[in-house]
Structure 1
């Protein structure tokens, strides 16, 4: 059995962690993780640390990885202003790709992690369901920069590229507060402690619009599939759970799970609403014997504002991945509840 070597860049985030946990279970894979911090979970992967914004750091720390066959690029540098995420994220990938290409003579594939921002989902109502063949929007984005670089660099070479386009990736990563699962769970926990009903904090239209999600484990399996299936070379695939939901239907389910009274919409500014909640959270952690993680490691209230503000339908067409052979799907309601239970097992929330 010839082993493949995965280089997972952004290895401690939600997507990177799920990829590593999936590949750890595969006998024909070796795994190297790249992150700014050491892993906080059990893994067989070897970790290296590099500053992706620094070309010299990339050369020094990644330039010797000659055994890499597959790259999974999951790194992301956030900014409150979405337009300002373009330059640094394009630069990081441009720093990494030539180093790995020069170091790894047996490189076979580079898989990019994108999302529905590719279709302009973050700007307002867009064509739904979004298809991979839809034209790019006029607003520049680092997804386009990264894909263009991968296309150009792979032309005439022995390696190919692919791109996964999920929406609202659901899983757990410590220190990654841009996470809908920990956002909902900590919000519910704090409201319960305050003795208040479980209100939906976003816009009324976001409560009723059609939405979708992508389980991090399903996404990991899809990214490995598209990276190792020759038919998927040089293509993009929408990857979601395969179903749709409205928060107005899920919110009462979440309320019952956390033992709260379900309520309707109460549009609030979450940073203002949750000002001072850190002290209350520390009290809950001490009383319930939870892992001692500061609230800021679990939730970003500005992200919560964004996550619950989409008052238009978000729908991706996933017939292409099924046509090419990826047939997995999940019930999103069950996924949310399973991930909430996982947070309880990990003693992240009570």
Structure 2
């Protein structure tokens, strides 16, 4: 039976999945959503309380949350990092620092602990399986042992297993998360939209800037709304207690299939597979973007606000299958699926309607 209500604290409230989760919780009967981050999200509804705190500071967290009786904690925060690089031969793959990420989790949990706390959920990711290091066994299952550390997900998992008792835990392992919020972290779909607009403005066809192998490999993504729904489900479902779940759209796609649909969306001709790092080739395109914003009457957003070139390079450089098994979460009772190709076009259409992209 679903839980009939509670107070959910979403730590790292500026993230795209976190913002979708806050929206779901605030509309649910008997539930209250609270956001925790250094600064409030730009789109936080007025009815949702936001608490500002430095999660690296244990005492600051305790002071900020001393009067809040949290029943469910969702930890979606991540320390600042420079991770995304190309998967070119010899390229160094960035590793996110373990210590700040595990410190923030410990501090927030400690500030929330008490008789009211029932469940702690941590959003992790499919890098648990080491896809950022290269090819890995697919479909990846939650029982997989992981890879050679460091990986702060492993440290978070050990902490949850050792610290739980009065409360239960769950973790989610999404693929790259994409939603309709921009400026909330790396966003592949909005980045591809910016790339297409710049190409069109320069009179070019829509070339695929990733590796030839990536163009044909099987790929998966995670829709932010679906991820948020799954987390709310995990926080209320006994079958999800003390479990990790892959949370992906549930289908697979190849870039060679969706690329013509993206070109059609922008009224462009299909180009060729032409591998070039976007971080380098788009570094001087700020003035071009400004011209597009003025010509198309778009929101006055900076290029960096809507495009994450390093993130796109990283994903478009994966020339191997990226597949997570969804068997476990379906058997446990969560069945929502998302058509990834339709998701991409739907999100690009949303950006156009909101005048974020043309």
Note whether the superposition's TM-score is higher than 0.5. yes
CA distance in 1, matches of 2:237, 2:263: 42
Cα deviation code 1:156-178 (max 9, x no counterpart): x3210001111011113332351
Whether contact under 8 Å (1:59, 1:99) holds in the other structure is: yes
Aligned to 1:46: 49
Aligned to 1:112: 122
Unmatched 5+ stretches in structure 2: 84-93
Shift of 1:21: 1.7
Aligned to 1:275: 283
3-state DSSP of counterpart to 1:72: strand
Aligned to 1:214: 222
Whether contact under 8 Å (1:181, 1:339) holds in the other structure is: yes
TM-score, scaled relative to structure 1:
0.95
CA distance in 2, matches of 1:279, 1:160: 51
Whether contact under 8 Å (2:96, 2:152) holds in the other structure is: no
CA distance in 1, matches of 2:184, 2:306: 7
Aligned to 2:90: none
Shift of 1:131: 0.5
CA distance in 2, matches of 1:204, 1:83: 25
3-state DSSP of counterpart to 2:235: helix
**Is 1:60 the equivalent of 2:72?**
no
Aligned to 2:31: 29
Of 56-65 and 259-268, the range deviating more from structure 2: 56-65
- For this pair of structures, how many residues does the alignment match? 345
3-state DSSP of counterpart to 2:300: coil
CA distance in 1, matches of 2:337, 2:58: 39
Whether contact under 8 Å (2:96, 2:151) holds in the other structure is: no
**Is 1:142 the equivalent of 2:152?**
yes
In the TM superposition, 1:98-247 aligns within 5 A as 98-101=110-113, 104-154=114-164, 157-247=165-255
Shift of 1:2: 5.2
**Is 1:344 the equivalent of 2:352?**
yes
Unmatched 5+ stretches in structure 1: none
The alignment yields a C-alpha RMSD, in angstroms, of 1.5
